[in-house]
Amino acid sequence: MRLLLFDIDGTLVNTLGAGKAALDTAMRVVYGETGPIESFDFHGKTDPAIVRGLLRAMDWPDAKIEAGFDATWSAYLEALERELAQRGGQAHAYTGVEPLLDEIEGDGRFATGLVTGNMEGGAWRKLDACGLAHRFGFGAFGSDSERREDLPPIALDRAEQSHGRAFDIRDAVLVGDTPDDIRCAHANGARVLAVSTGRHTLEDLQRHDPDAVVEDLSDTSLVMRMLAE
């Protein structure tokens, strides 16, 4: 059985900026400022790394940043629920995602989980808002480690606990929309399918040598062949 590990934002769902807006609110409450949040590139980073990067840009020391983490995530999750509710159901899965997950669920060759920079509570809230939370039973999250490269082995352990069997990380496929997703897969010896539904173009992603790259996940047959190769 092959392990498939999906990123969330830009790969599975578009929450119309709910996460960024919620983090802006939370950081203002806890730290009193957000740093260069409008120009900062969130894509491919874990939530803790985003907060650290924003505040380091304002010369905050790491110890002071970390001291506010717990309060930040509590405020963030409350704000995220409000932001998602305010979007009135407009947050959505990308084209092709649900038919692809239907096909994967019916195929005994695959086990499906998550590898995402989102804090775990944020990940499930975003998926729930887009009707996908029931599709995944395990994953690894930004709340597990600030370093994205640490997450695939954590997801592997949870997959083994969930399925009661061993998986080989070298046979796993990460599905993501950023160069950081590709680097994360390479760092762990996993395979990677890149998808350009996020900020990065096909050409951007191809420069980082993914095993395969597609514009989106709408061609279910093609993507299934790529995942099975």
Partners of 6 in the β-ladder: 114, 175
User: Do 141 and 197 reside in the same domain of the chain?
Assistant: yes
User: Do 43 and 102 reside in the same domain of the chain?
Assistant: no
DSSP single-letter state for residue 32: S
Using one digit for the tens of pLDDT, what is the confidence trace for 140-168?
999 999 999 999 999 999 999 999 999 99
94 pLDDT higher than 90: yes
45 pLDDT higher than 90: yes
60 lies in which domain range? 18-86
Partners of 113 in the β-ladder: 5
Average pLDDT, the chain: 97
Identify the band that residue 29 occupies on the pLDDT scale cut at 50, 70 and 90.
Answer: very high
Return left, alpha or beta for 181; rule: phi > 0 is left, psi -120 to 50 is alpha, else beta: alpha
* Beta strand pairing call for 110-115 and 191-195: unpaired
Res 88: pLDDT: 87
Residue 223 contacts residue 193 (beta carbons within 8 Å)? yes
Average pLDDT, stretch 53-69?
98
Task: Report the alpha-carbon distance of residue 171 to residue 69 in Å, rounded.
Answer: 35
User: Do 128 and 216 reside in the same domain of the chain?
Assistant: yes
172 pLDDT higher than 90: yes
User: Do 112 and 216 reside in the same domain of the chain?
Assistant: yes
User: Do 24 and 6 reside in the same domain of the chain?
Assistant: no
User: Do 212 and 114 reside in the same domain of the chain?
Assistant: yes
Residue with tokens 């496929």, as numbered in its chain: 173
Partners of 112 in the β-ladder: 4
223 pLDDT higher than 90: yes
Which is more confident, 208 or 89? 208
User: Do 209 and 100 reside in the same domain of the chain?
Assistant: yes
14 pLDDT higher than 90: yes
User: Do 137 and 166 reside in the same domain of the chain?
Assistant: yes
User: Do 101 and 180 reside in the same domain of the chain?
Assistant: yes
Identify the band that residue 123 occupies on the pLDDT scale cut at 50, 70 and 90.
Answer: very high
Res 71: pLDDT: 98
Task: Report the alpha-carbon distance of residue 65 to residue 80 in Å, rounded.
Answer: 21
User: Do 219 and 186 reside in the same domain of the chain?
Assistant: yes
User: Do 168 and 97 reside in the same domain of the chain?
Assistant: yes
